[in-house]
């Protein structure tokens, strides 16, 4: 059992809510606050806090545009976010594999 594998898990992504946000954004080009909120069933407050953490880590960027003259805020992963999430998923895969081997 290589315990350093666990230490390598990215704290920013490892929190369940942020893991879900990263997964959703990884599978779509961009997503509005409302869409994310509906998919995740989170409160505005929770979602805002998680997105801010992801922005501060440089994993998510926000773009503010106008659609039909109304402000439209959407989120997408940065290149660093994509790479960090891939690393994270690779580690999860490794952890699953380590635990299957020792069965």
**Rule CB under 8 A: which residues touch its own copies?**
1, 3, 6-7, 9, 11, 14, 16-17, 19-20, 23-24, 26-27, 39-41, 85, 89, 92-93, 95-96, 98-100, 102
N- to C-terminal Cα distance for the chain?
12
Q: How far is the CB of 54 from its own copies (least distance, A)?
A: 15
**Closer by beta carbon to its own copies, 64 or else 101:** 101
Nearer to its own copies by Cβ, of 69 and 102: the residue is 102
Q: How many CB atoms lie within 10 A of CB 68?
A: 5
Q: Which two tokens stand for residue 33?
A: 């606050």
> What is residue 70's three-state secondary structure?
strand
Query: Please, what is the minimum distance in Å from the beta carbon of residue 97 to its own copies?
Result: 9
Helices then strands, counting H and E runs in the chain, come out as 6, 3
**Closer residue to its own copies in complex, CB, 10/78:** 10
CA distance linking residue 60 with residue 86, whole number of Å: 14
């Amino acid at each position: 059992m290589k315990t350093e594998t666990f230490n390598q898990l990215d704290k920013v992504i490892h929190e369940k809510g942020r893991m879900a946000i990263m997964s959703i954004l990884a599978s779509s080009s961009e997503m509005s606050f409302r869409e994310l909120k509906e998919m995740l069933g989170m409160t505005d407050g929770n979602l805002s806090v998680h997105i801010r953490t992801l922005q501060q880590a440089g994993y998510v960027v926000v773009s503010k545009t106008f659609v039909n003259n109304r402000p439209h805020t959407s989120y997408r992963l940065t290149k660093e976010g994509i790479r960090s999430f891939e690393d994270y998923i690779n580690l999860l895969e490794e952890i699953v594999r380590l635990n299957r081997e020792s069965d």
